[in-house]
């Protein structure tokens, strides 16, 4: 396109998509002239209507980009971009008018922009066609744009409902997963407790056996100590009793040591 205004990469992409859509619309209407079957013509018109709605959405995005770039571009660039937007709107309007002509020829009321729905009665549909015929081209475009906006709003609301449903389902699935994991942890804890109880029982039995063994050892040691003490007492009381053997490491009785000392003293003549 000659003298194309300056655009940022996002605007260039949107502009290119709009131009591609216009080329697809032009080729689609050319094919429509070659189709003779009314059903196939209706299907072709449906596809072209979808492309026009997509083109309308892209033009809205292009307009938003222009508003976002107002503070960065000069007034001349903004004016060129607005002129380009108006040019694309006029081109889209021409395809909308062409579509209306084909619809009148085919007589397909379902694709009429002023159709009240699939359940509309024939008199109402005929009245809508008469009202549309009486309206100017600009009024037709305005009414069609309004209807498309309302349709877009309904679609957006439906998307929100679907998103909310998916979110609730995700939360429910997360809760179920968390509860399942918690139950698994509880089962593992119960297994651990049961294992700990078994180990504790075994440990109590082992401690009981060790206590019984320790008691026997203590009793044996007590008897040994009592025997040693008894021997020591007897040895002290009856030091000259030869039937009692000396205990290794135990010194002889003190009186014997005194007698030896007295005999030695007498031998010296004292």
Residues 7 and 13: their CA atoms lie apart, in Å, by 9
Residues 7 and 65: their CA atoms lie apart, in Å, by 9
Q: How many CB atoms neighbour CB 261 within 10 A?
A: 9
Q: In the numeric block, which tokens belong to residue 227?
A: 């025997």
3-state helix, strand, coil in the chain (%, to 5): 80, 0, 20
What is the residue-level pLDDT of the chain in tens, covering all 270 positions? 446 677 888 888 999 999 999 999 999 888 888 887 778 888 888 889 999 999 999 999 999 888 888 878 788 888 888 998 999 999 999 999 988 888 877 764 444 444 444 444 444 444 454 444 445 666 667 777 878 888 888 888 888 888 888 988 888 888 888 888 888 888 888 888 888 888 888 888 888 788 788 888 888 888 998 988 887 887 777 766 666 565 555 555 555 444 444 555 555 555
∠ CA 45-46-50, nearest 5°, is 115
Buried-exposed string 2-22: b where 16+ CB fall within 10 A, e elsewhere:
eeebebeeebeebbebbeebb
Q: How many CB atoms neighbour CB 45 within 10 A?
A: 21
Residues 191 and 43: their CA atoms lie apart, in Å, by 67
């Amino acid at each position: 396109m000659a003298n194309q205004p300056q655009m940022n990469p996002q605007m260039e992409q949107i502009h290119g998509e709009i131009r591609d859509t216009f080329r697809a619309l032009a080729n689609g209407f050319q094919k429509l002239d070659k189709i003779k079957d009314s059903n196939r013509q209706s299907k072709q018109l449906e596809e072209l209507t979808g492309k026009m709605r997509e083109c309308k959405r892209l033009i809205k995005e292009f307009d938003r980009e222009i508003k976002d770039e107002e503070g960065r571009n000069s007034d001349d660039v903004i004016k060129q971009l607005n002129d380009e937007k108006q040019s694309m709107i006029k081109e889209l309007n021409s395809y909308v008018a062409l579509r209306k002509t084909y619809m009148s020829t085919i007589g397909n009321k379902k694709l009429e922009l002023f159709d009240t729905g699939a359940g509309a009665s024939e008199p109402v549909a005929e009245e809508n066609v008469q009202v549309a015929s009486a309206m100017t081209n600009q009024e037709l475009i305005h009414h069609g744009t309004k209807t498309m906006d309302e349709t877009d709003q309904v679609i957006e609301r439906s998307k929100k409902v679907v998103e909310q449903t998916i979110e609730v389902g995700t939360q429910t699935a997360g809760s179920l997963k968390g509860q399942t994991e918690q139950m698994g942890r509880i089962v593992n804890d119960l297994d651990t407790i049961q294992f700990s109880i078994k180990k504790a029982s075994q440990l109590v039995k082992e401690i009981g056996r060790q206590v019984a063994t320790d008691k026997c050892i203590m009793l044996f040691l007590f008897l040994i100590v009592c025997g040693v003490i008894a021997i020591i007492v007897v040895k002290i009381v009856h030091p000259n009793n030869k039937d009692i053997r000396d205990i290794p490491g135990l010194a002889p009785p003190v009186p014997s040591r005194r007698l030896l000392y007295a005999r030695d003293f007498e031998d010296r003549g004292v």
